[in-house]
Structure 1
């Protein structure tokens, strides 16, 4: 019984890990996906939130992030994004500000860490 329980826990952990690390390639414009911080933010996406989660390991640094698909959004659209990734091509920074949800370091500051982005092309 203990062996079965251990196997089921391992299988569940593996499934959760795969779900967190799957590529968000099928995301529609504006969709958000949660990934571990060790996953690079794909082209066309921006980080919009950071936090700690045991599902991505244990550390004092924020180890999970929410990313948003910007590819396909219409010209003129504005979005708020963390400054932890560069804006995708066709997007420009309109303003910068501090956002507590964008603290991606274990030693945060109150410096501007977020941007308002606008699609221009």
Structure 2
């Protein structure tokens, strides 16, 4: 009986944590760490890539941090990886190389990151 209660409480806690960290409940600027195979939701951008045993194995970076850009005021600038297109209302103002934005096993020094500006 006690084991059943503990298991039920653990399931509720895990569900609450998962729901609390979902992109639907995020505030502007919030970040979330996900596996690289997870699609970046609308209004969000990738801001960093790395390898994590929790997301599989291999040489390709398989984990990423995503950032919510919805709700920022016009004129705000943020840095983002070039692995996703900027959301509507955001414009690329410059591009550059960032080691934190390497999302391929084949490294290069080509521009892979952007400075984005909220324009509308």
Is the structural similarity TM-score above 0.5?
A: yes
Query: 1:25-79: per-residue Cα shift (whole Å, max 9, x none)?
Result: 1110000000000100000000000000001111110000000000001110000
Q: Distance in 2 between matches of 1:24 and 1:107?
A: 30
Query: What is the match of residue 46 of structure 1?
Result: 45
TM-score computed with the length of structure 2 as normaliser: 0.82
TM-score computed with the length of structure 1 as normaliser: 0.82
Point out 4+ residue stretches in structure 1 off by more than 2 angstroms: none
Q: Root-mean-square deviation (CA), in Å?
A: 1.8
Structure (1/2) with the larger helix percentage = 2
Matches within 5 A, 1:38-117: 38-117=37-116
Residue segments in structure 2 that go unaligned for 5+ positions in a row = 1-9
